[in-house]
């Protein structure tokens, strides 16, 4: 280090306190001249000046000599930060020992001529240790920059000013503050002598707060004197300074804040503050990940590492600070911001952005919605022939689905009435314990909030919600196809042809007839996913500006993959097994890429990115995905059900696949020819890029069709729940191929000389048209919903039946209803269809609703219960009621026309039959027990249907049990009379989270029957008993984490890093 010392100023000595002004500069060429001029113009008489250059990259001394010839000057070889430089100046300045006050000035600050006088006067008046001035904008003194500062408990600074606030004298009162900025600050000699000078360990950012906190702890005042004004550039914060600190701001701030806390906070607070600070830092890291600002993420581990390395130094300094401490922390905290200021600033900024966006959107929308604009755009749209064609397609689709719109509510497959109120969907999502089957604490399906949102949009109207759900998904699919083709051609008939094929395809008829909601979700999401995947893969078809954007770097690739993952997650939420379909799809993409890529290595690399989306989907859908991806879980259950889907999923795979795929009724050779014509045309007529996509689509079409046929013949295991779901891929491929074919004929064919392809083109179009007209159009009148469901019979019947159940539950305790037979359930619904022959569902008295659709894998209790139901329906049991009783099954609803099932029910000696009402026979289990029961004696019911003697069925003694009424979700309570009750039986799946208390005393908890819950009552138990599930908070924590992951995914999918850079506090 070398030092250059200038001449000592020869200034007249007067009675004013001596002040040493220390100007610290580092690469401040743009502002230093004005700064020095301002210092030179100070009116304060007893002022000495020292300029210290902290390793600037140019020669500062000339300017100093020119503007402040009397000033001392010191140059440091390298930049060691403001604190170090200021301390060094005080060490070497000859005026420092005699100075009463020190004024520290940044090179980007220009004090008014009276500034130092006013600061000194205030310090003398108030005996303050630190006095700061009012900072205004550089060159624009009307705008305020800082007028005293505060901070939250974690040392995040708070200025208290609005952005761009104009100085109207509103802050012109002298006052005590937590700290003042060191851009232009007066510090008393007394303070330096007692508390020490600047902490050189900070380098930049935060040393002013540290000094002021130390001053306050030592009993000094910290004031702001607004009349002492200076202009300030804030060069470091606004990235205008050419300094290493500019690029290290996040590192410095995250390292220095815990340093300030560790040094100054009281002993009883320091640990807690540092712990919470660490958590907050981790949350920031998560947010930064979400915004893909990975480069800034590095700052956090570095900052923490640096802080930990400095702990010995910090500890030493802390001892010194605490030794001189004269006032308690709470006196300082009154100057601090109470809330978590950092978070508030973040959300305020987001809100402001949203507000601006909304206003802009509103203005645009209003201009578009003016009558003239509507008339104009409508007229323009209607003049296009393709618009007329689209209207015809929509009309045909609406005609095909007319019964869904105007008929009774759907109750088939996975489309069941929405629960009333709809809010139960969201309530169940957040509930620790869900009343599905025999109850579960399993992670709730992500479909629930999605379905809830549909319910909210539909104003809670059950039928409307169904229509919105089904038509919404169909519309999404059609828009996706339209968008896919539109991005690849400007020729409207190509879009129209693709949309027409997709809208009128027989698969849509099958999906809507069977209520295959999962297949519908795939139908809706697949075109969108394929668009992204194909763009990620590389060059796409299209002319010039029509060609869709191909992600060209890691950043845009990431964004596209997260978009793909979000759509995939939405699809998987509604169609759990679709994740297997995606894996198969992306494997085909990878193989095709490897085999035929334009740039093999690059395409394979990109295909890997696509494959990574499956992992991202699993993460987005956690914690549900953790259970769904188990062998018996919702996603993989079909795969493990045996060849052809076994007895559970087999029925949904026995569709005559080839006839459904080609033409209805097995169109035979003609159907195959039409399909071949489409494929042949699409992979030969267009230009290279389009052919490339067409070829990949063709491979998908062929592969999925072949696998579908093999599964339907029970040669392969079923990869997904239904053939409709699987065939969504070939049908989507077919629609997109048609789009490519038409676009290729229009855009690429004329480039070639007249040849065979010009002749083939009209032939292929004619074949397509014939196929559509004679194969698919005639299906439209036959599109309908099956009528064999409760809701389809009549709304009144369903209402009266469910009202009967609900009122029975209110009268005599909560119970369950067993819905038996194919009328109620089919294997599309998760959690059903496990039993050979007869599917069933167990619900609460409210009946089957959308809540029951996406159930977890069967529990031990349900598996055991299934044995009983199987034996009962197979007519190998005549006392099923005894065995169903512990599961609280009171009513069994059976289709009155199902003779076999009614015969099986009629055989049960412990059932009572009720007259059939509107096609439904209800049997009452005479042995039923309420879900929560006070019981007089020990229990003797077999754990499963292993009846070897009448002694196995000693439930009769239980009939005298006393039900505990249900008081809410997973909560039962009632009075324990002074009787012989010895235990409480809870007919829900055993879970450790269940608790029972009698007047505050917790009861012992154990398993009953190998699956249910049992609580032992002490002999002297008396009072109110409460049975609850106590682990709701675990679920909420999980879901909060899930929400955070989802937010990150959304952020990564929608924002580029430049758009948000610098906005995150």
Partner 1 sequence: MRRTEIVFALVAAILIAFFGFADRIFPRAEVDEAPAGAGRFLSSGWYCPVPTGEGFNSQVATTNLGDEPVRVRRWSIAGSQRSSYQAAEVAPRTRSTVAVSDLGLPDAAAVVEVFGAQSTTDSMTISDNAGLTASRCSVQPSDRWYFSVASTARGLDTYLLVANPFAEEAVLRIRIITADRDVVPARLSDHVIPPLSQTPIFLAEFFEETESFGLEVQATQGRVVVARHTRVEARDGRRGMFSDVGIREPSPRWFFAAGEVPSEGNEFAVITNPGERESLVQFIIQTETEQLSPPELAELPIPAGRQVVVRLADFLPRGFIHGMTISSVNAVPFVAERLIYFGGATRGAESAFGSPALGTRFVTSVGTPIGGVERLAIVNHSTSQAVIRIVLITPDGETVPPGLEAVQVGAGRRATVDVTPFLGGGMATAVIEALSGEIVVERIVSLGGSVNDFSTQAAQPLE
Q: How far is the CB of 506 from partner 1 (least distance, A)?
A: 15
**One character per residue 922-941, x = contact with partner 1 (rule: CB under 8 A):** ----x---------------
Residue number, 343 or 714, with CB nearest to partner 1: 714
* Minimum distance from residue 306 beta carbon to partner 1 (Å): 59
The reply to whether 715 sits near partner 1 by the rule CB under 8 A is yes
DSSP secondary structure string for all residues of 236-292: TTTT-S-SHHHHTHHHHHHHHHHHHHHHHS-HHHHHHHHHHHHHHHHHHHHHHHHTT
Spatial separation of the C-alpha atoms in residues 269 and 263, rounded to whole Å: 11
Does residue 912 touch partner 1 according to CB under 8 A?
yes
Q: Which of 556, 913, 917, 969 binds partner 1 (CB under 8 A)?
A: 913
Contact between 642 and partner 1 by CB under 8 A: the answer reads yes
Residue 792 class from Cβ within 10 Å (0-12 exposed, 13-18 middle, 19+ buried)?
Answer: buried
735-774 binders of partner 1 (CB under 8 A): none
Q: Rule CB under 8 A: is residue 945 a binding residue for partner 1?
A: yes
Considering the complex, what minimum distance in angstroms separates the CB of residue 1000 from partner 1?
42
Pick 524 or 718: Cβ nearer partner 1: 718
Closest to 1029 measured CA to CA, from 426, 435, 422: 435
Interaction of residue 733 with partner 1, rule CB under 8 A = no
In the list 702, 760, 774, 806, the residue contacting partner 1 (rule: CB under 8 A) is 702
Binding mask 872-911 for partner 1 (x = CB under 8 A): -xxxxxxx-------------------x---x--xx-x--
Shortest Cβ 515–partner 1 spacing (Å) = 22
Strand bridging mode 1023-1029 / 971-976: antiparallel
What separation in angstroms does the CA of 244 have from each of 22, 23, 55, 198? 22, 19, 11, 20
Q: Order across the sheet with 816-820: list the strands.
A: 840-843, 816-820, 889-895, 920-925, 911-913
- Segment contacting partner 1 by CB under 8 A, of 106-114, 378-386, 649-657, 1048-1056: 649-657
Rounded to whole angstroms, what are the CA distances from 173 to 7, 112, 220? Answer: 39, 18, 19
Shorter beta-carbon distance to partner 1: residue 138 or 840: 840
Q: Can you tell me which residue has the tokens 């006839």?
A: 659
> In terms of CB distance, is 913 or 973 closer to partner 1?
913
When asked if residue 666 is in the footprint of partner 1 (CB under 8 A), the reply is: yes
460 lies in the binding site for partner 1 (CB under 8 A):
no
**Restricting to residues 165-224, which ones interact with partner 1 according to CB under 8 A?**
none
Q: State which H helix or E strand residue 372 sits in.
A: helix 371-382
For the chain, report the end-to-end CA distance as a whole number of angstroms: 37
CB of 642 to partner 1, least distance (A): 4
Q: Is 33 in the site for partner 1 (CB under 8 A)?
A: no
Which residues face 22 on adjacent strands? 50, 104
Asked if 710 touches partner 1 (CB under 8 A), the answer is yes
Residue closer to partner 1, measured from CB, 403 or 632: 632
Whole-number minimum distance, CB 876 to partner 1, in Å?
5
* Cβ at position 763, least distance to partner 1 in Å: 14
Question: Contact, 620 vs 563, CB < 8 A?
Answer: no
* C-alpha Rg value of the chain to the nearest Å: 38
Q: Which of 258, 106, 99 is nearest to 191 (CA)?
A: 99
- The yes or no reply on residue 601 touching partner 1 (CB under 8 A) is no
CB 362 → partner 1: shortest distance, Å? 51
Q: Are 69 and 37 in contact (CB under 8 A)?
A: no
Name residues contacting partner 1, limited to 822-841 (CB under 8 A): 836-837
Q: How far apart are CA 179 and CA 174, in angstroms?
A: 13
47-54 and 19-25 strand pairing:
parallel
**Stretch near partner 1 under the rule CB under 8 A, chosen from 144-152, 259-267, 653-661, 992-1000:** 653-661
Nearer to partner 1, 814 or 870 (CB): 870
The rounded distance, in Å, linking the Cα atoms of 456 and 285 is 34
Measured between alpha carbons, how far is 12 from 27 in angstroms, rounded to an integer?
Answer: 33
Which among 585, 554, 563, 617 has a CA at the least distance from the CA of 696?
Answer: 585
Please tell me the distance from the alpha carbon of residue 424 to that of residue 968, in angstroms, as a whole number. Answer: 12
The answer to whether 644 contacts partner 1 (rule: CB under 8 A) is yes
Write out the two tokens for 492: 């409207």
Binding residue for partner 1, selected from 5, 388, 395, 676, defined by CB under 8 A: 676
We find the least distance from the C-beta atom of residue 390 to partner 1, in angstroms, to be 28
Burial class of 30 by CB neighbour count within 10 A (0 to 12, 13 to 18, 19+): middle
Q: Which is nearer to partner 1, 51 or 738 (CB)?
A: 738
Q: How many residues bind partner 1 (CB under 8 A)?
A: 66
For partner 1, which residue of 215, 526, 574, 679 counts as binding (CB under 8 A)?
679
State how far the Cα of 797 lies from the Cα of 893, in Å rounded to an integer: 13
Residues within the interface to partner 1 (CB under 8 A): 642-647, 650, 654, 656-659, 661-662, 666, 668-669, 671-673, 675-676, 679-680, 683-684, 691, 695, 698, 702, 705-706, 709-710, 713-715, 836-837, 867, 870-871, 873-879, 899, 903, 906-907, 909, 912-913, 915, 926, 945-952
């Amino acid at each position: 280090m070398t030092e250059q010392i200038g001449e000592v100023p020869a200034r007249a000595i007067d009675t004013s306190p001596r002040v040493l002004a220390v100007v610290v500069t580092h690469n401040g060429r743009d502002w230093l001249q004005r700064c020095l001029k301002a210092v030179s113009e100070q009116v304060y008489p007893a002022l000495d000046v020292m300029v210290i250059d902290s390793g600037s990259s140019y020669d500062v001394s000339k300017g100093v000599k020119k503007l402040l010839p009397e000033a001392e000057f010191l140059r440091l070889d390298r930049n060691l930060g403001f604190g170090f430089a200021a301390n060094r100046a005080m060490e070497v300045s000859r005026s420092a020992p005699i100075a009463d006050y020190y004024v520290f000035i940044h090179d980007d600050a220009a004090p008014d001529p009276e500034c130092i006088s006013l600061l000194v006067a205030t310090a003398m008046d108030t005996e303050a240790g630190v006095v700061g001035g009012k900072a205004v904008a550089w060159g624009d003194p009307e705008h305020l920059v800082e007028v005293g500062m505060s901070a939250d408990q974690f040392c995040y600074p708070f200025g208290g000013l609005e952005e761009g606030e104009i100085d109207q004298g509103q802050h012109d009162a002298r006052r005590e503050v937590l700290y003042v900025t060191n851009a232009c600050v007066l510090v008393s000699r007394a303070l330096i002598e007692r508390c020490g000078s600047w902490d050189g360990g900070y380098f930049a950012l935060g040393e002013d707060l540290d000094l002021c906190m130390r001053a306050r702890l030592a009993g000094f005042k910290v004031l702001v004197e607004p009349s002492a004004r200076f202009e300030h550039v804030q060069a470091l914060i606004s990235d205008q300074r050419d300094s290493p600190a500019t690029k290290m701001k996040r590192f410095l701030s995250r390292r220095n804040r815990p340093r300030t806390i560790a040094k100054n906070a009281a002993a009883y607070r320091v640990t807690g503050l540092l712990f919470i600070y660490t958590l907050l830092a981790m949350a920031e890291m998560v947010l930064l990940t979400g915004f893909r600002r990975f480069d800034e993420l590095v700052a956090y581990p570095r900052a923490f590492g640096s802080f930990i390395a400095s702990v010995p130094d910090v500890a030493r300094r802390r001892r010194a600070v605490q030794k001189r401490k004269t006032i308690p922390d709470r006196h300082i905290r009154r100057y601090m911001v109470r809330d978590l200021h950092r978070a508030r600033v973040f959300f305020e900024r987001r809100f402001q952005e949203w507000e601006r966006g909304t206003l802009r959107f509103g203005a645009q929308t209003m201009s578009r919605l003016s009558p003239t604009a509507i008339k104009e755009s409508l007229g323009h749209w209607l003049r296009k022939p393709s618009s007329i064609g689209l209207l015809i397609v929509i009309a045909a689709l609406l005609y095909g689905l007319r019964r869904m719109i105007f008929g009774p509510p759907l109750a088939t497959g996975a489309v069941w009435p929405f629960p009333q109120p709809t809010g139960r969907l969201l309530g169940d999502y957040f509930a620790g314990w869900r009343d599905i089957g025999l109850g579960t604490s399993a992670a709730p399906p992500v479909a629930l909030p999605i379905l809830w949102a549909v319910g909210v949009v539909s104003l809670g109207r059950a039928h409307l919600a169904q229509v919105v759900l089904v038509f919404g998904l169909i519309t999404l699919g059609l828009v996706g196809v339209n968008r896919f083709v539109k991005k690849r051609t400007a020729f409207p008939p190509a879009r129209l042809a693709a949309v027409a094929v997709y809208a009128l395809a027989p698969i849509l008829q099958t999906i809507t007839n069977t209520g295959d909601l999962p297949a519908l979700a795939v139908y809706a999401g697949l075109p969108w996913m394929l668009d992204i995947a194909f763009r990620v893969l590389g060059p796409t078809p299209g002319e010039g500006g029509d060609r869709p954007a191909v992600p060209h770097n890691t950043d845009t690739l990431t964004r596209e993959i997260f978009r793909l993952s979000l759509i995939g997650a939405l699809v998987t939420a509604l169609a759990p097994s679709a994740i297997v379909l995606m894996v198969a799809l992306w494997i085909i993409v990878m193989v095709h890429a490897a085999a035929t890529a334009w740039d093999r290595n690059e395409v394979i690399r990109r295909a890997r990115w696509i494959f990574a989306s499956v992992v991202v989907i699993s993460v987005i859908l956690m914690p549900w995905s953790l259970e769904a991806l188990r062998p018996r879980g919702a996603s993989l259950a079909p795969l493990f059900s045996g060849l052809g889907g076994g007895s559970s999923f087999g029925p949904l795979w026995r569709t005559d696949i080839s006839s459904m795929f080609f033409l209805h009724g097995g169109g035979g050779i003609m159907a195959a020819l039409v399909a071949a014509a489409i494929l042949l045309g699409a992979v030969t007529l267009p230009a290279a890029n389009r052919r490339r996509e067409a070829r990949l689509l063709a491979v998908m079409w062929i592969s999925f069709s072949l696998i579908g046929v093999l599964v339907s013949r029970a040669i392969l295991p079923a990869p997904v729940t239904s053939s409709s779901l699987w065939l969504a891929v070939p049908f989507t491929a077919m629609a997109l191929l048609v789009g490519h074919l038409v676009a290729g004929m229009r855009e690429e064919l004329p480039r070639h000389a007249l040849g065979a392809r010009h002749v083939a083109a009209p032939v292929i179009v004619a074949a397509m048209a014939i196929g559509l007209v004679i194969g698919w159009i005639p299906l439209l009148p036959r599109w309908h919903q099956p009528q064999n469901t409760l809701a389809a019979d009549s709304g009144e019947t369903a209402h009266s039946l469910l009202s009967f159940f609900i009122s029975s539950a209110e009268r005599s305790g909560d119970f369950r209803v067993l819905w038996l037979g194919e009328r109620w359930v089919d294997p599309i619904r998760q959690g059903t269809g496990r039993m050979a022959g007869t599917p069933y569902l167990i619900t609460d008295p409210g009946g089957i609703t959308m809540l029951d659709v996406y159930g977890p894998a069967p529990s031990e209790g349900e598996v055991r219960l299934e044995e009983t139901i199987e034996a009962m329906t197979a007519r190998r049991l005549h006392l099923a009621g005894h065995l169903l009783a512990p599961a609280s099954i009171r009513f069994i609803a059976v289709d009155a026309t199902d003779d076999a099932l009614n015969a099986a029910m009629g055989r049960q000696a412990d059932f009572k039959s009720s007259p059939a009402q509107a096609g439904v026979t209800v049997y009452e289990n005479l042995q039923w027990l309420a879900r929560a029961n006070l019981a007089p004696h020990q229990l003797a019911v077999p754990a499963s249907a292993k009846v070897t003697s009448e002694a196995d069925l000693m439930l009769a003694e239980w009939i005298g049990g006393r039900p505990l009424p249900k008081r809410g979700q997973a909560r039962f309570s009632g009075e324990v009379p002074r009787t012989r009750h010895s235990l409480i039986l809870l007919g829900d799946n055993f879970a450790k989270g269940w608790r029972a208390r009698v007047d505050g005393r917790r009861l012992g908890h154990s398993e009953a029957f190998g699956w249910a819950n049992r609580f032992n009552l002490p002999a002297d138990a008396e009072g109110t008993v409460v049975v609850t599930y106590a682990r709701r908070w675990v679920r909420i924590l999980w879901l909060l984490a899930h929400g955070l992951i989802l937010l990150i995914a959304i952020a990564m999918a929608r924002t580029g890093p430049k758009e948000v850079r610098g906005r995150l506090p």
